[in-house]
A and B are shown apart, each in its own frame.
Chain A
Amino acid sequence: MDLQLLLDALTSKALREGVVVTITLTIVSFVAGLVLALGLALMRGSRFRAVRAAAWTYIWVFRAVPTLVQLLFVWNALPQLIPALRGPGFTAFIAAAIALALNEAAYAAEIIRGGLLSIDDGQRLAARALGMRPGSVFRKVVAPQLVRVIIPPTANDFITMLKLTSLASVISLQEVMAHAQAQVSITFRFAEWYTAAAIYYLVLVSIFMAAQAWFERRYVWTSQGADRPRRSILGGMGLR
């Protein structure tokens, strides 16, 4: 491997532009997916059978069909079915964001549903006994406890999502992988360009893991939790 070439690849404008697209796509589709997932999780607990069935069916379909198929479907098939999507406004980025968000929603819905089930019924009961209204019960009592239990599995999903964005290279979205691929087809330096792309993902995931550790510390419910001595980054990442 040519180290100079690797360094050039790492600092290349192509990969720097690609990483911005990768990060943006990850965050947009992840957040949209989470919002959808909360709706789906609540639908799963509805007292109406039809609502529960609709959510179940959604989760079933979007977990069963490969993400790549979903991505190609949204990008290529959807405009055939919905004429409004045929214009130039329907970009590869939008298609990828839609596909990945729909996909993420199915997985995150199950995480949130599990989280909701893990909260003791006595919590809602006590909040209702105080006279709190349903919205207030959810925001002030259920949500904080829900967030704490879903952080680890949701963080896992986030990392998966970050890597899944590389699939969008097949619909010509210019994220990290697409740029690396383009450079490879010009230079034939596979090792250098793929390694450079891998390093970008490694760095992104590491930054995110540090953020996760920080976030988890905020959900330590002890009187010492807030001003506990900070652990080292490695410790915080669970790599002690």
Chain B
Amino acid sequence: MSAQPTPGQLLDADVIAELHAGAPGPVIEAIDVSKRYGRNEVLSGVTFEVDRGDVKAILGPSGSGKSTLLRCLALLEPIDRGEIRLDGQLVGARVAGERRIALPERILAGQRSEIGMVFQRFNLFPHLTALGNVMLGLTEVRGVGKREANDIASTMLVRVGLADRQRFFPSELSGGQQQRVAIARALVMKPKVMLFDEPTSALDPELVGEVLRVMEELARDGMTMVVVTHETGFARDVASRVLMMDEGRIIEDLPPAEFFDAPRSERTRRFLDAVR
């Protein structure tokens, strides 16, 4: 196969410099976030923050609220209580006195464009080529002209190892290739943080590596990342902190070595025994 990720940087040098020069402190924060679907409380007072350049891996059993947390952080789902802050600014809602008021979709859209999201099932647009998929956010959201968007998108596809797949449609790409297009699609928007929702769970085992390599490179470039994953290897090697979620709460938040070798809670220990 020709299409392997090229080693080397994914982001422009000036973007990397900016990421490293930015003031330290949280890029994205969840403060006491709660979310319910009907009577079912999916998130119960989740508080955590991700500092600039940090990679947080979130582990946990299915139904523990990991994906919901990510969707709330991406402002794709409204939260019922708490706050989400991006670079210290309240996003997703505004507060008037005691009440939180949801922002209109048009303003939410602008805030979402600062946050990159990668989905388990890729969610590429089937009617657009790989190039078209990566260009769409630039032309529709950033107002970049067609020709310039084409150049930016093309450069990013080359960097994720898809130089020879740019004119292909999603249905003609492997899962690993599709997920790399999805990552490129998010990266060209120059997001402040990248959220990954089980990015390798829908992939054939032999295709997992090519996606993880792109994510590792991204972490090296200094991107702030939140990764919901079952890949314990990735969590151990790349993450700066590993979180465990269970029943809508974060029950563990430790550096990877400690998390895997000496977790504090019994629940985490049992989970790790089950997945290893």
Interface residues of A (CB under 8 A from B): 120, 122-123, 125-134, 136, 140-141, 144-145, 148, 219, 221-223, 225
A140 CA / B119 CA spacing, docked (Å): 19
Chain B residues, Cβ within 8 Å of A145: 126-127
Instruction: Determine whether the beta carbon of A125 is less than 8 Å from that of B76.
Output: yes
Chain B residues, Cβ within 8 Å of A144: 127
Given contacts A122-B119, A221-B127, A221-B169, are A130 and B76 in contact (CB under 8 A)? no
Instruction: Determine whether the beta carbon of A125 is less than 8 Å from that of B125.
Output: no
A126 CA / B182 CA spacing, docked (Å): 9
B123: Cβ under 8 A from any A Cβ: yes
Q: Nearest chain-B residue to A119 (Cβ)?
A: B126
B 112-123 to A, binary, CB cutoff 8 A, 1 in contact else 0: 111111010101
Interface centre among B74, B125, B168, B169 (most CB of A within 10 A): B125
Given contacts A129-B74, A129-B112, A222-B171, are A134 and B105 in contact (CB under 8 A)? yes
Question: How many Å from the CB of B130 to the closest CB on chain A?
Answer: 10
Residue among A120, A126, A133, A222 making CB contact with B109, cutoff 8 Å: A133
Residue among B113, B136, B182, B186 making CB contact with A140, cutoff 8 Å: B136
Given contacts A123-B123, A131-B109, are A223 and B141 in contact (CB under 8 A)? no
Interface centre among A133, A134, A148, A219 (most CB of B within 10 A): A133
B203: Cβ under 8 A from any A Cβ: no
Instruction: Determine whether the beta carbon of A131 is less than 8 Å from that of B123.
Output: no
Question: How many Å from the CB of B169 to the closest CB on chain A?
Answer: 5
Chain A residues, Cβ within 8 Å of B45: none
Instruction: Determine whether the beta carbon of B125 is less than 8 Å from that of A136.
Output: no
Q: Nearest chain-A residue to B125 (Cβ)?
A: A141
Instruction: Determine whether the beta carbon of B110 is less than 8 Å from that of A131.
Output: yes
Given contacts A128-B109, A131-B113, are A222 and B123 in contact (CB under 8 A)? no
B137: Cβ under 8 A from any A Cβ: yes
B98: Cβ under 8 A from any A Cβ: no
Chain B residues, Cβ within 8 Å of A140: 136, 140
4 closest Cβ contacts across the A-B interface?
A: A131-B113, A126-B123, A122-B123, A129-B117
Instruction: Determine whether the beta carbon of A130 is less than 8 Å from that of B113.
Output: yes
**Known interface pairs A125-B119, A130-B112, A130-B141; 11 further A-B residue pairs with C-beta atoms within 8 A, sorted by A's residue number:** A128-B112, A129-B119, A130-B113, A130-B186, A131-B141, A132-B141, A140-B136, A145-B126, A221-B126, A221-B169, A223-B169
